[in-house]
């Protein structure tokens, strides 16, 4: 059991208030906001800090927990309330979970991103639950006129065992609502958990399987019009003029007009990433009618001038260079090779140049990764209704809190007059962070003075960005005469983003280490893609380490463990951002669970391990080549994400990451010709098929008692290299360029 203050940074953390009709509501601030006076805030219930969650206890014993973060399949809508319910000692069968709308007065960090929801909410959520429980116990002690030390709870009930008294939470809620919030509460010891660590079904499961309206595409309002947009066909193009004469006369079409989604003088922030802001809107009575009219519009395009874009990157000033021209894949490759010759040093330990010049053996390999599309199953869509100075929106997006400011600026309407309802996301992992389609929907609604549902076609989404960047990395390793790794050099960059994490493994494990990075400007918009940058760096780093291990004559797992042992005993340099002991433990666990020491005839195996998003993942992939095709029999996951809140949900995340990663590694790729993207729909952009998924995926978690960390992304990056290393064992060829299918089928 641990003692936890109900205040953070001397700012008020909790408030309590009575509900109309009985019961109590406890509100809590996860990260503490910016109110100057805690005592004053405690006396003013209407003055709440941002990022508040709510526990509502009804007089009938039912409990409603508000889930503030968007739900995109990562299951936070179940797991986060589980944390609250645990410390509250609630009866899970009497818990109702509701999705909260965007509410910047009561919530903060109300978004999906970085696999941080459980990690950042862990202590505040527990504290909120424990505080409510303590207040209910005090109310019971006062009612029964007994010492609070004699009061205990069991799920949903308060007990005084010496007096043989028992009451459900709702019976004490009214009185509890009048009591002062305790300054400190005791949190449960992990061995006393009853809900955390057990598998609970998705709270939306029944609605999902019965087709209830949960997603943005399901959202409808009376009188709603439908809209689509036309954006330039090529990056580097801008709208010149258009002919809509034929389209305007088509059935059901209300209007066609040109508009700007962002003002020219608007200073963009981190997620205001969109290249095409001069658009054509088509508005009508149905999506089919609008789609037919869209096809009838004849647009003329011109080359856009280059420019520099000032950006506010979470308080850090930055400039994005947007060059003029229509880019081609071949020219991009030349530019990247040139940029790699003039990198910037990001970390240097020892004297790697001198060691490389005298090494007994030097291994050098270059790896590439293409642009990638997200291809969320649910098309981009959003509902908006602008009525004078009031805005109501609804749809799927990952960063509502960060989007409403751009929306406010574009419409000229105060943020406090904007309401955003969050629907369940039909896919995300970065794509729905860049919610320009919300702003587009609202601008169209404002022009039409009517409620509007904007829907993207698959082609709109795939040809408009936002993609994973194109990357390249060159690795060098120096071995001495005893086949020991004595120097390591990585030169990595991208178009337009540098993917390098200079302080990750094997930094800290090699005496002579050099990490260099570079970037090439581009007018192609890129952004977050599941496990940003890590999805490329894990693949190339872990593929290269396998090749170095082979050159050193060592087992690939033993080789990694030796390096980690050195990083633990005698770490090199400063700022290593991984724990070598935790890193080693996932490798040891996967070696054990995959039965690594015992090979199976005809089965090729690859191993990989990586640290990202505060968690560690190791994987062994078993595969065969059957009739010239890759057949993956099994993937074994070993994960250290700290304490696992919901085991079934955690395994689901890992299984999805493995399948997603294999499909992307094998088939994902986009190229450009004169600024036009090569693929625009699923008939061209190859996805993994059901028969290509692993026949078995086993997931094991390290039990170390650490607080929870990220899990939505960490199991994704290492599977790329596990696959590449297994393919090498099966084919005798190393795989340096994604997608692997180009080489495996050649």
If asked whether residues 535 and 655 sit together in one domain, one would say yes
SS3 149: helix
Please, which residues bridge with residue 385 across strands?
392
If asked whether residues 522 and 637 sit together in one domain, one would say yes
CB 711 within 8 A of CB 612: no
Nearest Cα residue to 707 out of 640, 638, 657 = 640
Rounded to two decimals, the pTM is 0.91
Q: Tell me whether residue 205 is in a domain.
A: no
Q: Which residues of the chain have pLDDT under 50?
A: 8-13, 17-26, 28-53, 746
Q: Which pLDDT belongs to residue 37?
A: 35
Q: Which pLDDT belongs to residue 70?
A: 80
If asked whether residues 176 and 254 sit together in one domain, one would say no
d(CA 132, CA 89): 10
Give Cα 126 to chain centroid, integer Å: 23
Lookup: tokens for 483: 């086949």
Measured at the CA of 331, the angle between CA 673 and CA 376, to 5 degrees, comes to 50
Q: Which pLDDT belongs to residue 647?
A: 95
If asked whether residues 417 and 303 sit together in one domain, one would say yes
Give Cα 580 to chain centroid, integer Å: 25
Number of domains into which the chain is organized: 3
Q: Tell me whether residue 211 is in a domain.
A: no
Q: Tell me whether residue 739 is in a domain.
A: yes
Residue 62 makes CB contacts below 8 A (sequence gap 6+) with: 94, 95, 96, 170
Q: Tell me whether residue 387 is in a domain.
A: yes
Q: Tell me whether residue 449 is in a domain.
A: yes
Q: Which pLDDT belongs to residue 64?
A: 82
Residues in the chain: 746
d(CA 14, CA 30): 9
If asked whether residues 576 and 696 sit together in one domain, one would say yes
Q: How many helices (H) and strands (E) does the chain have?
A: 18, 35
If asked whether residues 182 and 234 sit together in one domain, one would say no
Q: Which pLDDT belongs to residue 435?
A: 85
Q: Tell me whether residue 107 is in a domain.
A: yes
Neighbours of 331 (CB within 10 A): 12
Q: Tell me whether residue 568 is in a domain.
A: yes
If asked whether residues 402 and 546 sit together in one domain, one would say no
Residue 273 makes CB contacts below 8 A (sequence gap 6+) with: 434, 436, 465, 466, 525, 526, 527
If asked whether residues 18 and 80 sit together in one domain, one would say yes
Q: Tell me whether residue 206 is in a domain.
A: no
If asked whether residues 247 and 187 sit together in one domain, one would say no
If asked whether residues 708 and 598 sit together in one domain, one would say yes
Q: Which pLDDT belongs to residue 732?
A: 96
d(CA 453, CA 551): 58
d(CA 82, CA 77): 9
d(CA 566, CA 546): 18
If asked whether residues 537 and 414 sit together in one domain, one would say no
CB 454 within 8 A of CB 436: no
Q: Which pLDDT belongs to residue 12?
A: 42
Q: What is the largest CA-CA distance in the chain?
A: 85
CATH of the domain at 8: 3.30.365.10
Find the domain containing 551 and state its range.
Answer: 470-744
Residue 107 φ then ψ, to 5°: -130, 155
Q: What is the DSSP string of 437-488?
A: HHHHHHHHHHHHTS-EEEE--HHHHHHS--BBPEEEEEEEEEE-TT--EEEE
pLDDT in tens, 5-19: 555 443 344 555 444
Residue 742 makes CB contacts below 8 A (sequence gap 6+) with: none
pLDDT in tens, 379-421: 999 999 999 999 999 999 988 888 888 999 999 999 999 999 9
If asked whether residues 36 and 128 sit together in one domain, one would say yes
Compute CA distances 556 → 156, 619, 636, 722, whole Å: 51, 12, 16, 11
| Secondary-structure breakdown of the chain: helix, strand, coil percentages, each rounded to the nearest 5 | 30, 30, 40
DSSP at 218: G
């Amino acid at each position: 059991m641990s003692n936890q203050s109900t205040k953070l940074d001397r700012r008020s953390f909790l408030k309590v208030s009575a509900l109309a009709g009985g019961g109590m509501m406890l509100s809590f601030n996860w990260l503490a906001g910016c109110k100057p006076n805690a005592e004053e805030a405690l006396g003013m219930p209407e003055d709440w800090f941002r990022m508040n969650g709510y526990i509502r206890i009804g007089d009938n014993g039912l409990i409603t927990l508000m889930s503030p973060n968007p739900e995109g399949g990562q299951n936070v809508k179940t797991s986060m309330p589980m944390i609250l319910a645990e410390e509250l000692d609630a009866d899970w069968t009497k818990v109702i979970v509701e999705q909260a709308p965007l509410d910047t007065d009561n919530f903060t960090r109300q978004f999906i991103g970085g696999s941080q929801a459980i990690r950042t909410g862990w202590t505040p959520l527990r504290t909120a639950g424990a505080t409510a429980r303590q207040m209910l116990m005090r109310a019971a002690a006062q009612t029964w006129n007994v010492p609070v030390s004699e009061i205990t709870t069991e799920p949903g009930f308060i007990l005084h065992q010496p007096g043989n008294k028992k009451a459900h939470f709702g019976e004490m809620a009214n009185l509890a609502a009048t009591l002062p919030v305790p300054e400190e509460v005791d949190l449960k010891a992990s061995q006393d958990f009853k809900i955390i660590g057990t598998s609970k079904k998705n709270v939306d499961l029944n609605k999902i399987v019965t087709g209830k309206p949960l997603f943005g595409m399901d959202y409808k309002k009376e009188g709603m019009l439908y809209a689509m947009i036309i954006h330039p066909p090529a990056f580097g193009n801008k709208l010149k003029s258009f002919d809509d004469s034929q389209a305007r006369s088509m059935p059901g079409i209300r209007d066609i007009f040109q508009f700007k989604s962002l003002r020219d003088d608007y200073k963009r922030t981190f997620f205001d990433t969109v290249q095409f802001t001069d658009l054509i809107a088509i508005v009508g009575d149905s999506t089919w009618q609008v789609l037919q009219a869209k096809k009838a519009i004849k647009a003329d395009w011109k080359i856009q001038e280059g420019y520099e874009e000032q950006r506010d990157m979470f308080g850090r000033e930055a400039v994005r260079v947007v060059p003029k021209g229509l880019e081609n894949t071949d020219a991009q490759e030349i530019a990247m090779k040139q940029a790699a010759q003039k990198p910037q040093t990001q970390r240097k330990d020892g004297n790697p140049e001198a060691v490389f010049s005298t090494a007994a053996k030097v291994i050098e390999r270059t790896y590439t990764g293409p642009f990638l599309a997200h291809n969320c199953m649910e098309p981009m869509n959003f509902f908006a209704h602008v009525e004078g100075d009031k805005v109501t929106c609804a749809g799927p997006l990952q960063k509502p809190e960060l989007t409403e400011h751009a929306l406010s600026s574009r419409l000229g309407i105060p943020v406090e007059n904007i309401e955003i309802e969050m629907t369940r996301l039909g896919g995300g992992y970065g794509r729905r962070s860049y919610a320009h389609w919300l702003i587009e929907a609202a601008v169209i609604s404002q022009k039409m003075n009517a409620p509007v549902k904007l829907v993207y076609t698959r082609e709109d989404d795939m040809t408009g960005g936002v993609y994973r960047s194109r990357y390249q990395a060159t690795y060098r390793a120096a071995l001495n005469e005893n086949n020991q790794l004595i120097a390591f050099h990585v030169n990595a960059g991208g178009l337009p983003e540098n993917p390098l994490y200079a302080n990750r493994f094997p930094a800290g494990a090699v005496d002579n280490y050099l990490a260099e990075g570079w970037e090439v400007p581009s007018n192609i918009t890129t952004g977050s893609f599941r496990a940003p940058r890590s999805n490329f760096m894990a693949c190339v780093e872990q593929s290269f380490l396998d090749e170095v291990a082979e050159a050193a004559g060592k087992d690939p797992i033993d080789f990694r463990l030796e390096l980690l042992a050195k990083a633990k005993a005698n770490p090199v340099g400063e700022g290593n951002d991984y724990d070598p002991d935790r890193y080693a433990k996932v490798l040891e666990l996967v070696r054990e669970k995959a039965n690594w020491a015992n090979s199976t005839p005809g089965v090729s195996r690859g191993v990989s391990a990586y640290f990202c998003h505060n968690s560690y993942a190791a994987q062994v992939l078993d595969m065969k080549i059957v009739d010239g095709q890759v057949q993956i029999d099994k993937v074994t996951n070993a994960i250290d994400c700290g304490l696992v809140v919901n085991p079934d949900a955690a395994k689901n995340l890992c299984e999805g990451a493995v399948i997603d990663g294999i499909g992307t590694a094998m088939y994902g790729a986009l190229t450009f010709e004169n600024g036009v993207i090569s693929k625009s729909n699923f008939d061209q952009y190859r996805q993994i098929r059901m028969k290509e998924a692993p026949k078995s995926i086993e997931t094991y978690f390290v039990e170390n008692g650490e607080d929870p960390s990220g899990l939505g992304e960490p199991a994704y990056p290492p599977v790329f290299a596990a696959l590449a290393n297994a393919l090498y064992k099966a084919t005798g060829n190393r795989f340096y360029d994604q997608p692997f299918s180009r080489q495996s089928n050649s």
